Amino acid sequence: MNIGEPSLTKRTGSAEEEMSTLFHRNVEHLFALLLVFLILGPGCDIFDTRNAEPPKSTASTFIPPTTPEFVLDNLRSAVAEKNEANYIRCLADTLNMDRRFEFVPTASAAARYSSVYASWSISSEKTYFSTLVALTPPTATSLLDLSGGFTLRTSDSAVYQGTYILTFPHGIGSAPETVQGNVQFTIASDRSSFWSIVRWIDSPSGTEPTWSDLKGRFAY
């Protein structure tokens, strides 16, 4: 070994000392973090990720329609809560019964909106109702008042006759926000023993606009 060359033993020893120092520093840092966590307690969420708030959902009051009366209750709730899904659930579903939903408008509305009522369907019901909901402020009060009773009942069918007043403050000046008239619902039981409206007949009770006018106006 030359006298001017550094000692291999000294270089090795110096490297070991540096690694030892770095190790002790890391241990001290970990110990400090652990101490902070223990002091703050398990209630501290500094290491937790914050869950996103779930989106606000539409209010939903839907009673399993095991009776014809519950169908009417659900229809009122769907209007009051502006809930399109529950509104459609009140109408006959061809997947669960052999009968197809039918809406019979007033004669004047059928003439005024002839192209719309020529092919009225569940899809038309969805379109008009969802349009009304979109136009109406969430805080505005929509209301369906039904007054009447059942005139016929069998084991799988019932007929309701009465009057209605429907209010939907949609804010469109060219369309009525309150309509009224006479209604006849034929309500039937499906293969799951749930009831829904299979036939809906609308007729005027005077000169006021009817539900048919509102449906025809917003079904485009």
Domains of the chain: 68-218 (3.10.450.50)
Best CA proximity match to 131, nearest among 207, 206, 58, 217 = 217
Calculate mean pLDDT across residues 60-87: 97
Q: Is pLDDT above 70 for 10?
A: no
CA distance 58 to 56: 7
The chain-wide mean pLDDT, for the chain, equals 84
CA distance 142 to 175: 15
The answer to whether the predicted template modeling score (pTM) of the entire model surpasses 0.85 is: no
- pLDDT-derived band at 16, boundaries 50, 70, 90: low
Q: Is pLDDT above 70 for 56?
A: no
CA distance 105 to 216: 9
- pLDDT-derived band at 59, boundaries 50, 70, 90: confident
- pLDDT-derived band at 46, boundaries 50, 70, 90: very low
Calculate mean pLDDT across residues 166-186: 97
Strand order through the sheet with 102-104: 102-104, 195-203, 178-189, 157-167, 143-153
Best CA proximity match to 175, nearest among 107, 121, 128 = 128
Calculate mean pLDDT across residues 163-179: 97
Residues in the chain: 220
For residue 12, the model assigns a pLDDT of 45
CA distance 212 to 117: 10
Quick check: helix, strand or coil at residue 48?
A: coil
Mark out the alpha helices in 41-184 (DSSP H runs): 68-80, 84-89, 107-112, 114-117, 122-135
